[in-house]
Amino acid sequence: MKVWILDNGSIVIEHTQLMWNVPGPQVRIPSYAVLIEHDDGLFLFDTGFDLEHTNAVLPFELPEQTPEQTIPAQLELAGFAVSDVTTLVNSHLHFDHVGGNKHFAGLKNVVHEQELAQARHHEPFEFFGYSDKTWDYEGANFEPVSGDLELAKGLWLFETPGHTIGHYSLLVTPESSAARPMLFAFDVVYTQPALEKGIQPGFHIDPRAGVRSIARVKEVATEHGADIYFSHDAAAFTTYKHAPDFYEL
């Protein structure tokens, strides 16, 4: 099994978004997708943000994304075409995780059933998060799921609500015992320091569920001896392998 991290550029957020109620300077954070070549197919988790949408609706987040940082270009960097992807999974449906979904018309799209419903009929305060609706195109092939599930051998989705109502994290367990399991927490916490302090993102729909999900990420990491990968941690991101480089599990 091979795992690529696909760099999709960066945006700027308030420190109180990075860590709820913790003041500090604005911070530029990365956005990325995860591509996994598995015996059962080519799985793509999240698709980053769309530059045009972000500039139009969230210009204050000062998005930066080169043509090389779009999903099609990143797939190519990893040696694939858009048409090679067999399953698209979204951790949740916020704009910075669905921006490239539209490139995969008709492809099976696994999403938590509550996330799908909520993104279509969200609370007013969730407007910016769910502002990019291009994932919900005519003919989209959703596979709504719920509960913890093994998507394919060694690819585990486990429920981690709080940031959004149907948020999933991903655990990748290796075929060989020589490699370390990888745990993509996605937006349960944005950074390593946030995990250590137990502080969820400023944006959330259920902060008490968010607290439990932080505990859950820690438990799963400990139980499996997994390395945790953070969704929006600029410092940690520089230490990750980026496509075309990959992790072999």
61 binds Zn ion, rule: CB under 5 A: no
Contact of 181 with 174, CB cutoff 8 Å = yes
Tell which positions 78-107 bind Zn ion, by CB under 5 A: 96
Residue 38 or 94: which CB sits closer to Zn ion? 94
First-to-final CA distance of the chain: 5
Q: What is the DSSP string of 103-161?
A: GGTTSEEEEEHHHHHHHHS--GGGTTTT---TTS-TT-EEEEE-SSEEEETTEEEEE--
Number of alpha carbons in the 13 Å side-chain half-sphere of residue 244: 6
187 binds Zn ion, rule: CB under 5 A: yes
233 binds Zn ion, rule: CB under 5 A: no
Residue 61 or 96: which CB sits closer to Zn ion? 96
Least Cβ distance, residue 125 to Zn ion (angstroms): 16
Number of alpha carbons in the 13 Å side-chain half-sphere of residue 233: 23
Binding footprint of Zn ion, residue count (CB under 5 A): 2
CB crowding 187-215: b at 16 or more within 10 Å, else e: bbbbbebbbeeebbbbbbbbeebbeebbe
Least Cβ distance, residue 232 to Zn ion (angstroms): 6
Least Cβ distance, residue 176 to Zn ion (angstroms): 31
Q: Which residue has the tokens 């137990």?
A: 198
Q: Which residues are catalytic?
A: 96
Least Cβ distance, residue 246 to Zn ion (angstroms): 22
x-or-dash pattern for Zn ion, window 129-168, by CB under 5 A?
Answer: ----------------------------------------
115 binds Zn ion, rule: CB under 5 A: no
Residue 43 or 49: which CB sits closer to Zn ion? 49
> Residues in the site for Zn ion, rule: CB under 5 A?
96, 187
